[in-house]
Amino acid sequence: MIEHDVADLKLAKSGRTRIEWAGKFMPVLANICERFGRNKPLRGVRMSCCLHVTSETANLVTTLKAAGASVRLCASNPLSTQDDVAAALVRDHGIPVFAIKGENRRQYYQHIYAALAHRPEITTDDGADLVSTLHSKKRNLIPDVIGGTEETTTGVVRLRSMEKDRVLAYPIIAVNDSQTKFMFDNRYGTGQSALDGILRATNWLFAGSTVVVCGYGWCGRGVAARAKGLGAEIIVTEVNPVRALEAKMDGFRVMRLMDACRSGDVFITVTGDINVIDRRHMLGMKDRAIICNAGHFDAEINKKALDEITRSKRTLRRFCVEHKLKNGRCLIMLAEGRLVNLAAAEGHPAMVMDMSFANQALAAEYLVRHRGKLENKVYKLPEALDQQIARLKLGTMGIRIDRLTPEQAAYISSWRLGT
Ligand code: ADE
């Protein structure tokens, strides 16, 4: 048996059907997989992937394997692993997986080290923990690395800061920055799956309640739109004046979080920053307010402060913990402040991960094709590939669109013609 560390290989049967189910809704990735299977663009390439271990990710890593890559997978979050999927990847697909739902911090990093023991030529990351561990603790691996890909906004922000500090030691493709990724995965994926996580953890009725969305980036926009669709009144909090204005003109109330505390029934953080919901906010919230996070790290809610103001706590339901505060009120914290959509639900649906992971697959191919030609910088995938993914997705949805006539193409690229 190949090397692995998963919860229970006996779960593989259920994992296998789940992987198949997700695959049915990932036709763009399937199209790429078919070509990869024929042409083997990643033949012999060692890849270490640090991703949420889900049925959608399983379809990505099997695509990379079909392309000829030798892949190892570890989790990019201690709570997001689907244990049955991890088991099926090991038992049915022969892919070494190191991920267990609920693993502690020590195990989480042990698993990252196990993935790095593969001596990757490509790193595929979601949040940049793999890349930062490689750069800080395993620098001996750097000479072998062709490049890396990064899935999420938080990871891209970290990698850009590494580039700025001139410590980034190899090129990265910011998959997150493709239009076919952030406009769909971040907005419609997070919008739906964050509410899915809250619903599964609480069975909450959104209609008639007040939802406070902290952050109005692509994820916040999606969460606010979907919560509104379920009948909630939305309050948006922002630090960026342009985004705050956009939220206002999208029809939402906008105010400081401190002012929103007293009205909110559900608080959702999607900012990528630290201590967004802090002690003073939690002390100001009404009795039985729900707090949760859909940003990458569990840093957005000040958990230490919450514990300090808590008199006692008890688990009410799975991923749903009631904190009795010293001020006499209760707060309900979901999924330990970790990604509520992946911890309490299943993450984004396959239909949207199809495009995100099509970008990942094409980014890996691009890195191999451009081996040695890229600088140690964060790049976007070329727009032509982004457009190709959109065209493929439209095709699988049975949608045909118009093309510019030669006359229109000439007109739109010329400055000569005006009124
Ligand atoms: N990120 C958000 N949803 C995901 C999913 N279903 N699989 C992998 N990564 C994700």
Alpha-carbon distance values, 180 to 51, 62, 175, 373, 387 (Å):
19, 21, 9, 25, 8
Rounded CA separation 353/56 (Å): 7
**Please, what is the end-to-end C-alpha distance for the chain in angstroms?**
72
Q: Which atom number of ligand 1 is nearest to the Cα of residue 347?
A: 3
Could you tell me the pLDDT band of residue 54, with boundaries at 50, 70 and 90?
Answer: very high
Is residue 51 scored above 90 in pLDDT? yes
**Mean pLDDT to the nearest integer, 310-334:** 98
Report whether 321 contacts 344 (CB < 8 A): no
Is residue 84 scored above 90 in pLDDT? yes
Q: Percent of the chain beyond pLDDT 70?
A: 100
**Mean pLDDT to the nearest integer, 379-395:** 98
Ligand 1 centroid distance, CA of 54 (Å): 7
* Model confidence pLDDT, tens digit, residues 204-251: 999 999 999 999 999 999 999 999 999 999 999 999 999 999 999 999
**Mean pLDDT to the nearest integer, 61-76:** 98
DSSP for 120-180, written as a single string: -SEEEESSSHHHHHHHHH-GGGGGG--EEEE-SHHHHHHHHHHHHTT---S-EEEGGGSHH
Model pLDDT, residue 1: 85
Around ligand 1, the residues with Cβ closer than 6 Å are 51-52, 54, 56-57, 189, 342, 347-348, 353
Pocket test for ligand 1, best of 356, 357, 359, 360 (most atoms within 8 A of CB): 356
Give the strand pairing for 147-150 and 172-174. Answer: parallel
Ligand 1 centroid distance, CA of 56 (Å): 7
Rounded CA separation 168/163 (Å): 5
Give the strand pairing for 320-325 and 330-334. Answer: antiparallel
Pocket test for ligand 1, best of 25, 149, 193 (most atoms within 8 A of CB): 193
Could you tell me the pLDDT band of residue 287, with boundaries at 50, 70 and 90?
Answer: very high
Model pLDDT, residue 316: 97
In sign, the C-alpha dihedral spanning 299, 77, 340, 172 is positive
Could you tell me the pLDDT band of residue 416, with boundaries at 50, 70 and 90?
Answer: confident
**Mean pLDDT to the nearest integer, 145-170:** 97
Report whether 378 contacts 159 (CB < 8 A): yes
Alpha-carbon distance values, 250 to 146, 209, 222, 259, 378 (Å):
43, 19, 12, 20, 32
Report whether 31 contacts 25 (CB < 8 A): no
Ligand 1 centroid distance, CA of 162 (Å): 25
Could you tell me the pLDDT band of residue 164, with boundaries at 50, 70 and 90?
Answer: very high
Domains and CATH numbers, the chain: 9-177+349-396 (3.40.50.1480), 189-338 (3.40.50.720)
Ligand 1 centroid distance, CA of 277 (Å): 24
Q: Note the pTM of the prediction, 2 decimals.
A: 0.96
- Residue 391: which residues within 8 A CB-CB, separation 6 or more? none
Q: Which of 19, 37, 30 is closest to 73 using CA atoms? A: 19
Model pLDDT, residue 6: 98
**Mean pLDDT to the nearest integer, 46-52:** 98
Work out the burial of residue 230: count CB atoms within 10 Å of its CB; fewer than 13 is exposed, 13-18 middle, 19 or more buried.
Answer: middle
Model pLDDT, residue 417: 80
* Model confidence pLDDT, tens digit, residues 98-118: 999 999 999 999 999 999 999
Rounded CA separation 404/133 (Å): 48
Pocket test for ligand 1, best of 18, 21, 55, 56 (most atoms within 8 A of CB): 56
Is residue 402 scored above 80 in pLDDT? yes
Residue type, 296: H
Is residue 419 scored above 80 in pLDDT? no
